[in-house]
A and B are shown apart, each in its own frame.
Chain A
């Protein structure tokens, strides 16, 4: 940063930090959502930078679907110590046990929908008035129109027609009791920006992002990891493959890619050359053309 030439990463970093500070200034009880994925890792890293030498003035929260990769949870706990943040965990399994939401049945049961219920319940429980999320506009069509400050009504719902115009960098975080805001500081980052930033800052990542040997099954064009939450269906065969993950979500829906990328440099080179979007491996978005839009309306990120 001693060189004041402004490249893309510097501009995006300054913008994200501005947005994170706005949240700290405008809200009484903000929380930052943490999934263990690279985007939320970058976001929490930016939060450290935003307030240094002070501490991050809000807690982190992980909505645990119970379908996590074991590596994600190990990483999560270590990372929280490193960024010196308080972590709150709320469990989808608990919401199911309490009858707040029913488990999906059938092939590829996903807890993506159930996760929304747990999230909204947790926001109410802690009276959080703002939740910071690591979503990016380039991820998916429905996200392309998302605001930095995304307004949610008392039911946590996103109404695309009732969003506030955002002009310049003037973010309107005012709301009535019960309403809340989702804020996305890295809205303007692309997947490649995130990786280049991780590379530049040398941020430690979960091992899942790097190449490793894993038991997998090929299903509907995706490569899914086999494990406790993902068992072989009739007629499928297990394989041992050299893979890594481009995104990390639930084991049930996150597809792996065959890759030999061992280092951050390898990953950046691979991403720069790739011809498939990162959500191309996510079966949850493929369910219908407007899948993401529908989930967002119900309160998903």
Chain B
């Protein structure tokens, strides 16, 4: 066996971890040369590979060994001198194993860049020091940002052609850093390199004494990636049910995020059945816990009906359960454009369902971040969409959880994968509001409700909405006889309660002797009572309840300013409407029970 004099850096250390990174760049950027240099200088190129490389370089009439040839694989690509697909490369050092997703950088290969970026911990962006920040450098940054790659390394390459100028390096780095501020990039590092000559790739360059940072490979070895893992939100998409005999029913899957321990209280989505983790096993091992990335089998304390596509989560940390959401999509199909109202197959975690695009909110220019209206999306175009799925899916926003925020769209006719999506948020407006800080909402969006301030807690309204499975609403009854008003409020409360709604009923009988005990029957005091009622109703609505208010008096003009329109249903019981948008009922002519049933339907339409 032929061995070289050099001791390879590959070691037998079992404790090496794994870093997946993507490289984007064009032929001219020297991307292939950079990868070739990294493999070559870290002694990862085998002798027969090198011999073949020398032979091919000679055949092509090139003087030096062309390191770029190491990485372009398919004949079609070699003939065209370009890379047309994502190629995966492997190498390792004493500290880490690396998987490179090598993708072409041209605009027409945006889909490949997106594919390569989907699992990457880190992105290398190459900038030619002579040309500075170009459109494509921005494009690569935008894609890294959209795909939420945690770390970005900008290699300013061909430093040898600008005399290793610190000024030039600083200028490019400053320009790019400025641009990156507009993006969702949290960690960005700049390294001056010459891939051709090997400066700062594996070995520190003597020509850039002004550069204090590590060479590229050392940076890749040392960058901390363990903190990028989401170990908080336990999400377990059930992959396959293992049932060897009557006594064992295990749910197999890979932990998408978070950590789970034996004894944890869990629920299964979408059925919302509760149970407790009885055991966590992997092959013959019984584990006390499992965390993000582990493929295990969970079994539960009591039998509940769970199958592939369901998700096991902690009882007090539930993802969004929605069938309407907004997402950023990269369109990948060369045959058909993405069109609204066409049906696609949606694959998300282990779930498969149908989906339809309701609206293209805008198309995003991947070079400039410019948003423009669009009727369709073509191959390699990126856009923001509103999507409705046939069934609710269980997701977290992509930026928080890549494993439960990413999905693909599949053409239902030939089953090709045509789109890659990143869920931004649910598109039900009540939930959207919650995305914003509740305080900012009450102060800015609703100035007259400035008397309500929420300090952020650990339970968001979204959590309440998910658990109780309906939206909050304030139903404000006014006018009519007090007896009728109270009767309708009581019947409505009972009907809603029976259909599983978290409902409360407030009438002046509740408040007269307590909350309003200090008030008298004069105009300022009646206004104050009204303010207190509205305030109380708003508090309870914000806590997720359906609040039926039967104060039977008038209706203040400020009522509609205190609530978001979709959280308020104003009902006039005396046949006349004082303000626009009010539901009118004539309780003198209609039976009380009939009025209550009509109201129940209206409420159900709004909250479910």
What residues of chain B lie closer than 8 Å to A22, measured between beta carbons? 239
Knowing A11-B18, A145-B87, A273-B3 are in contact, say whether A21-B285 is a contact too (CB < 8 A): no
- Contact indicator B295/A50 (Cβ below 8 Å): yes
- Contact indicator B291/A4 (Cβ below 8 Å): yes
- Contact indicator A172/B415 (Cβ below 8 Å): yes
- Contact indicator B12/A168 (Cβ below 8 Å): no
- Contact indicator B16/A7 (Cβ below 8 Å): yes
What residues of chain B lie closer than 8 Å to A164, measured between beta carbons? 416-417
What residues of chain A lie closer than 8 Å to B74, measured between beta carbons? 141-142, 145, 160, 290, 293
A166 within 8 A of B: yes
The listed residue (B14, B87, B289) touching A7 by CB distance below 8 A is: B14
Contact mask for chain A residues 269-293; partner B; CB cutoff 8 A; 1 contact, 0 none: 1101111110010000000011001
Of A144, A168, A258, A290, most B-chain CB atoms within 10 Å: A168
B350 within 8 A of A: yes
A81 within 8 A of B: no
CB distance from A60 to the nearest CB of B (A): 19
CB distance from A252 to the nearest CB of B (A): 20
- Contact indicator A7/B17 (Cβ below 8 Å): yes
A53 within 8 A of B: yes
The listed residue (B17, B88, B308, B403) touching A6 by CB distance below 8 A is: B17
A98 within 8 A of B: no
- Contact indicator B239/A167 (Cβ below 8 Å): no
Query: Which of the segments A33-41, A86-94, A100-108, A188-196 contacts the partner chain?
Result: A188-196
Knowing A160-B74, A176-B415 are in contact, say whether A25-B420 is a contact too (CB < 8 A): no
A8 within 8 A of B: yes
Compute how far the CA of A192 lies from the CA of B17 in the bound complex, rounded to whole angstroms.
14
Of A24, A142, A274, A275, most B-chain CB atoms within 10 Å: A275
* Docked complex: A239-265 residues within 8 A CB-CB of B: 257-259
- Contact indicator A52/B284 (Cβ below 8 Å): yes
- Contact indicator A165/B332 (Cβ below 8 Å): yes
CB distance from B285 to the nearest CB of A (A): 5
Chain B residue nearest in CB terms to A281 = B48
- Contact indicator B293/A145 (Cβ below 8 Å): no
- Contact indicator A21/B252 (Cβ below 8 Å): yes
Knowing A1-B285, A145-B88, A192-B10 are in contact, say whether A14-B1 is a contact too (CB < 8 A): no
What residues of chain A lie closer than 8 Å to B97, measured between beta carbons? 8, 190, 193
- Contact indicator A289/B56 (Cβ below 8 Å): yes
Contact mask for chain B residues 335-355; partner A; CB cutoff 8 A; 1 contact, 0 none: 000000000010110100000
Knowing A7-B16, A165-B111, A169-B254 are in contact, say whether A188-B90 is a contact too (CB < 8 A): yes
Compute how far the CA of A100 lies from the CA of B363 in the bound complex, rounded to whole angstroms.
53
A62 within 8 A of B: no
CB distance from A95 to the nearest CB of B (A): 28
Categorize the interface residue count of chain A: 35 or more
CB distance from A106 to the nearest CB of B (A): 24
* Docked complex: A158-185 residues within 8 A CB-CB of B: 160-161, 163-170, 172, 174-176
- Count residues on chain B whose CB falls below 8 Å from chain A CBs: 80
Contact mask for chain A residues 1-44; partner B; CB cutoff 8 A; 1 contact, 0 none: 11011111111111101100110110000000000000000000
Compute how far the CA of A196 lies from the CA of B14 in the bound complex, rounded to whole angstroms.
8
- Contact indicator B287/A25 (Cβ below 8 Å): no
- Contact indicator A270/B1 (Cβ below 8 Å): yes
- Contact indicator A7/B15 (Cβ below 8 Å): yes
Compute how far the CA of A270 lies from the CA of B10 in the bound complex, rounded to whole angstroms.
11
B29 within 8 A of A: no
- Contact indicator A272/B12 (Cβ below 8 Å): yes
Mark B residues whose CB is within 8 Å of A: 1-4, 7-8, 10-12, 14-18, 46-49, 52, 56, 73-76, 84-90, 92, 96-97, 99, 111-112, 114-115, 118-119, 239-240, 242-244, 248, 250, 252-254, 282-285, 287-291, 293-295, 308, 332, 345, 347-348, 350, 402-403, 406-408, 410, 414-417, 420
| 19 extra A-B contacts, CB within 8 A, seeds A11-B293, A275-B2 | A4-B291, A7-B14, A7-B16, A18-B295, A52-B283, A54-B244, A55-B244, A144-B87, A145-B88, A164-B416, A165-B112, A165-B408, A167-B408, A174-B415, A275-B3, A275-B8, A276-B48, A277-B48, A293-B74
Mark A residues whose CB is within 8 Å of B: 1-2, 4-15, 17-18, 21-22, 24-25, 48-55, 137-138, 141-142, 144-145, 160-161, 163-170, 172, 174-176, 187-188, 190, 192-193, 196, 200, 257-259, 268-270, 272-277, 280, 289-290, 293
Q: List 11 A-B contacts (CB under 8 A).
A: A5-B15, A10-B294, A12-B18, A25-B308, A25-B350, A141-B73, A145-B88, A166-B115, A259-B1, A272-B10, A276-B2
